């Protein structure tokens, strides 16, 4: 708390006046452009690495940047993540949803360990809300990872996009640069796009191309950010060499 309170005092000195002016500018007419789902990891600071500002994004954070599939609920509006989707995309008419995973994700590292049946047992779940959360809502990602492992980490994977009839192919870490847990993290990030599309209240918007879903992945040790390119079928680093191609792809797929 000492660090937090002193930080607030620095904010009062350095940033408060400027931020209040920004709050006034967007008070009556905020126009956020994205709902941004990411992990609660303390190393993830999405407004910093996207250089976004007051009023630009709705940010939703949890363990593992997971959006539970609607099949897990008798009523699809009974948990935080779909409520956030409705608030952002229906109430505020935001047209873009972004899911951002990252390297060395502690939730994904734990999910990887849940391949061990004893570690994932009911008794162990009862004493760990985190294990229970992952076993309930992230096993589809782990199952896909296991399929990928059987292919010796080389074969392309198939994911559902905005509708059951729209699918995309993904080559996960084709250069084999990342740890096994990071490969799982990338798979998990793409799996969330399919989970988002499972909600009935978004169905019409997705079918009519009024709502678009994207995947980012952040390497916390290099600071590099990757965008999943459906055209190139893989996560592509966002840099000076790729930005023009990625902007053209976004315009082509999502305009």
Tens digit of pLDDT per residue, the chain (255 long)?
999 999 999 989 999 998 898 888 888 777 899 999 999 999 999 999 999 988 999 999 999 999 999 987 765 556 899 999 999 999 999 999 999 999 999 999 999 999 988 777 777 777 889 998 999 999 999 999 999 999 999 999 999 999 988 999 999 999 999 999 999 999 999 999 999 999 999 999 999 999 999 999 999 999 999 999 999 999 999 999 999 999 998 887 766
Question: What does the block give as tokens for 87?
Answer: 């608030």
Which residues are paired to 159 by β-bridges? 168
Instruction: Please tell me the predicted confidence (pLDDT) of residue 149.
Output: 96
The domain ranges of the chain are: 1-30, 33-254
Instruction: State the pTM of this model.
Output: 0.92
8 A C-beta contact, residue 98 and residue 192: no
Fold of 33-254: Beta-carbonic Anhydrase; Chain A (3.40.1050)
8 A C-beta contact, residue 214 and residue 227: yes
| Strand duo 157-160 + 96-102: pairing | unpaired
Which residues are paired to 219 by β-bridges? 224
| Rg of the chain over all Cα atoms, to the nearest angstrom | 19
Nearest C-alpha neighbor of 134 from the set 114, 160, 163: 114
Give the phi and the psi of residue 79 in degrees, each rounded to 5: -145, 170
């Amino acid at each position: 708390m000492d660090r937090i309170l002193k930080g607030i005092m620095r904010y009062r000195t350095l940033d408060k006046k400027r931020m209040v002016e920004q709050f006034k500018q967007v008070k009556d007419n905020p126009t956020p452009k994205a709902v941004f789902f990411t992990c609660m990891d303390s190393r993830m600071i999405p407004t910093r690495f996207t250089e976004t500002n007051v009023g630009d994004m709705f940010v939703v954070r949890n363990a593992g940047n997971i959006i539970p599939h609607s099949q897990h609920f008798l009523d699809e509006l009974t948990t935080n993540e779909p409520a956030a989707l409705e608030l952002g995309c229906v109430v505020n008419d935001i047209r873009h949803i972004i899911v951002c995973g990252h390297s060395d994700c502690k939730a994904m590292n734990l999910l990887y360990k849940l391949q061990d049946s004893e570690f994932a047992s009911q008794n162990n779940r009862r004493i760990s809300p985190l294990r229970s959360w992952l076993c309930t809502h992230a096993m589809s990602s782990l199952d896909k990872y296991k399929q990928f492992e059987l292919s010796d980490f080389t074969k392309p994977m198939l994911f559902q996009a905005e509708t059951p009839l729209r699918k995309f192919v993904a080559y996960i870490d084709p250069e084999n640069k990342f740890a096994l847990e990071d490969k799982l993290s990338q798979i998990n990030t793409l799996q969330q796009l399919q989970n988002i599309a499972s909600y009935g209240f978004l169905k019409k918007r997705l079918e009519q191309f009024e709502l678009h879903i994207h995947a980012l992945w952040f390497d916390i040790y290099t600071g590099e950010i990757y965008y999943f390119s459906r055209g190139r079928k893989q996560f592509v680093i966002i840099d000076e060499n790729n930005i023009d191609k990625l902007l053209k792809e976004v315009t082509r797929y999502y305009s």
